[in-house]
Amino acid sequence: MASLREIKTRITSTKKTKQITKAMEMVSAAKLNRAQSKAQSYDPYTQKIRDVVASIASSSTDVSHPMLEERPVKKTGYIVISSDRGLAGGYNSSLMRDFFNKVDERHNSTDEYGVIVIGRIGRDLLKRRGVPIFSEITGLGDDPSFNDIKNLTRTAVDMFANEEVDQLYLWYNHFVSPISQIVTETKLLPLTDLAEENVKQSYEYEPSEEVILQQLLPQYAESLIYGALLDGKASEFGARMTAMSSATDNAGNIIDELTLSYNRARQAAITQEISEIVGGAAAQE
């Protein structure tokens, strides 16, 4: 059985741990609010570009673009959005587990695919598995701007345009709530679903539909990547807030158990001392 001093030391150290996890929970909650607000404010921009591109794709039979057309798949590209730091529950593990399962299901060898990865944890896991990495970004801040990933998004779109890959998928955690994040795969390129959309608004184009399409399609694909990054950041902070909340609760339970053990051991020690005093007094009579 542990001594009173050892139990007291454990109580003190656990209380310090609880203070840290509580502080991290509060910081993550504040970051989550900002990330949610930024992701929500970005959605209208992406949706408007989608509406315009879908309008052209669905209404015009003369205008075409390679990014709207499927071709035989020789190589597949994936963009995986993970985090640079841990302590976020299953945020990274569930994402990478589902990704590896899907890749093993689709491909027979690493020659058939490659990955553009955001986040140190995802990059390290991919390297350990020997997965080809086209490009990587690590060390992004908690409030990333589009300029932070502009080169990466351009690289992804150019790889498809240059036929280095024949399809491109996005993998990230979609934010539902602080306790729920859903691993999501989105087909980024080719944008074959746009022509099927029911467009409710008509547009007039200047100088022409083809020129507008040439400009907007790459921007739209890049906006989807950035939107997924913002969504992933909100999911990361939600997952970390929940993980730190659970850690704080667990620390509180451990402190209660240790305090109970400490009190019992202290009572036993006092009882032992009283018994020794009484026994010594009886021996002197």
What's the pLDDT tens digit per position in 110-144?
A: 999 999 999 999 999 999 999 999 999 999 988 89
Q: Domain of residue 74: give its range.
A: 23-243
Question: How many separate domains does the chain show?
Answer: 1
**What pLDDT does 7 receive?**
87
**180-189, strands of its sheet edge to edge:** 133-137, 113-118, 76-81, 167-177, 180-189
**For residues 39 and 175, is the Cβ–Cβ distance under 8 A?**
yes
Whole-model pTM: value is: 0.86
Domain membership of residue 113 (yes or no) is: yes
**105 is a domain residue:** yes
Is pLDDT larger for residue 266 or for residue 32?
32
Q: What is the mean pLDDT of residues 48-66?
A: 73
Residue 168 φ/ψ, nearest 5 degrees? -140, 130
**1 vs 173 pLDDT, higher one:** 173
Q: Using an 8 Å Cβ cutoff, are 217 and 66 in contact?
A: no
Examine residue 58 and state whether it is found in any structural domain, yes or no: yes
The overall average pLDDT reported for the chain is 87
Residues in the chain: 285
Beta carbons of 68 and 195 less than 8 angstroms apart? yes
CA angle at 95 for the pair 70 and 86, rounded to the nearest 5°: 140
Closest among 117, 151, 144 to 132, alpha carbons compared = 117
Alpha-carbon span 106 to 95, nearest angstrom: 17
Judge whether 262 and 7 are in contact, CB under 8 Å: yes
Query: Taking the mean position of all CA atoms in its chain, how far away is CA 79?
Result: 13
* pLDDT score for 103: 95
Mean pLDDT, to the nearest integer, of 62-79?
84
- Residue 275 resides in a domain: no
The answer, yes or no, to whether residue 203 has pLDDT greater than 70, is no
Res 43: pLDDT = 87
Q: How far is CA 62 from the centre of its chain?
A: 40
Alpha helices by DSSP H, listed for 60-187, are 91-106, 120-128, 146-161
Bridge partners of residue 171, in order along the sequence: 80, 185
Percent of the chain, pLDDT > 90? 52
Structural domain includes residue 267: no
Beta bridge partners of 177: 180
The whole-angstrom separation of Cα 72 and Cα 214 is 22
Evaluate whether residue 181 is within a structural domain: yes
pLDDT at 1 over 70: no
Residue 62 has pLDDT above 70, yes or no: no
**Is residue 222 domain-resident?**
yes
Q: Which residue has the higher pLDDT, 136 or 204?
A: 136
- List beta partners, residue 167: 76
Helix axes 120-128, 91-106, angle to 10 degrees: 40
What distances in angstroms separate CA 220 from CA 10, 84, 153, one per listed residue? 55, 26, 11
Q: At what angle do helices 209-284 and 91-106 cross, to 10 degrees?
A: 130
First to last CA, the chain: 35
What confidence tier does 285 reach under pLDDT thresholds 50, 70, 90? low
pLDDT at residue 281 is higher than 70: no
pLDDT at 252 over 80: yes
Question: d(Cα 116, Cα 22) in Å, to the nearest integer?
Answer: 34
Cβ(91)–Cβ(239) under 8 Å?
yes
* 112 in a structural domain: yes
Residue 34 CB-half CA count within 13 A: 11
CATH for 141: 3.40.1380.10
Average of pLDDT values for 162-184?
93
pLDDT band at 49, cuts 50/70/90? confident
Q: Which residue has the tokens 């608004």?
A: 201
pLDDT of the residue at 195: 57
Q: Which pair of structure tokens corresponds to residue 148?
A: 């932070």
